[in-house]
Amino acid sequence: MDLTDIRARIDEIDDGILSLFCERMGLASAVAEAKRGSGRAVFDPARERDKLARAAAAAPGELEPYVTSLFSLLMSMNKAEQQKVMRAGDPEAPSAVARASYLDVDSPFPTTATVACQGVEGAYSQIAACRLFRVPSITYFSTFEGVFRAVRDGFCDYGVVPIENSSAGSVNAVYDLLAQYRFSIVRSLRLKIDHQLLAKPGTRLADITEVHSHEQAVAQCAGFLERLGCRVRVAPNTAMAAELVARSDRRDVAALSSRACAGLYGLDVLESDVQDTDHNYTRFIVISSQPQVFPGATRTSLMLTVNHEPGSLYRVLERFYALDVNLVKLESRPIPGRDFEFMFYFDLDCPAGSRPLDVLLDALDDVCERCTYFGTYTEVV
């Protein structure tokens, strides 16, 4: 057979595969109805293991891994379709609950609001809040939990908190608070971070023996600090570090902080842009106690707790793949009180109102212990 004949035969086989695949997926409705009538779960691990074992045994040895992957994906897509059928018309279905938080197209993101931030004036959270809201009324709190409590208690409409940095990684305390409070994320921002070394007027770089800043800023400037060869003191916030230096009687201390803090606290910039990489961005999120999905939202965040058994995370990832959902971030955090067990945070490129998002939200129950939908939102860059 020449190449033309081979390709023609492949096309014939593919047509047959497509026809059988459509027929197989069409049976999902009948399977779902039968399971609903008998009260059985969509995921039947014993039958799935048996199916995969029989497929692997029937395949030629060199094709066994491919056959197993193919049938595993087929069953994942079929289970997703069954979940969709079983959830249809259910007002308590995850997709229906999520859609209830969608706002009308004439409900743009607010330009003014009461906003809670951690730190003091000049903090990067304040800079982020002023980028996210045109005229925010900002109240400052000393801790991230203070921000969450202010939103929970209705003292502020929204909170703005950092969640990850491109070089120093995730802000674990914020992830843990998201799990605890189960707030919604309604917007996010990628903010370019440039750290300055600030000190009292007249101070020389050679005079500095101690530098204060937040632990993330310290991590982002680790190389510079090593070359400087001074003590490092961790502060609750970069702006609070600048405020501490301004109030100190010592002239051998400095702060890693924003340029805005130099003017705010009467400090000089001894060294500019001292972060180790120029590609230094921090993602900030806007949290709300009430679910709100504003028009044009394209990024979705979820938290999943999976069973503590082999393959449990794989089944979740397989479901994303089956629905052609792009995963842009995966973060794990320990589950309090459960040794060596983890919850997982996912950021997905999955727009509000899209069919893949609806099917995904309704198709995760059988592959995880618990799923929390944090919202779908726009990321400002």
Q: Which residues are catalytic?
A: 282, 284
How many beta carbons lie within 10 A of that of residue 152, not counting itself? 15
Q: How far is CA 236 from the centre of its chain?
A: 23
- CA nearest to 304, candidates 347, 254, 247: 347
Can you list the alpha helix ranges (DSSP code H) found in the chain?
A: 3-38, 45-58, 64-87, 94-99, 124-132, 144-152, 172-181, 215-220, 222-228, 238-247, 259-265, 312-322, 355-362
Q: How far is CA 298 from the centre of its chain?
A: 13
Give exposure, 338-352, as e/b (b: 16+ Cβ within 10 Å).
Answer: eeeeebbbbbbebeb
For residue 375, the one-letter residue type is: G
Give the Cα separation of 337 and 98 in Å (integer): 29
116: which residues sit within 8 A by CB, 6+ positions away? 138, 139, 140, 141, 146, 147, 150, 151, 155, 156, 158, 159, 160
Tokens found for residue 102: 């969608």
How many beta carbons lie within 10 A of that of residue 28, not counting itself? 20
Q: DSSP letter string over 96-121?
A: HHHHTTBPPTT-PPPSEEEEEEESST
Give the Cα separation of 301 and 327 in Å (integer): 10
Give the Cα separation of 124 and 259 in Å (integer): 10
231, 235, 262, 288 from 252: Cα distances, Å: 11, 17, 16, 42
How many beta carbons lie within 10 A of that of residue 319, not counting itself? 23
311: which residues sit within 8 A by CB, 6+ positions away? none
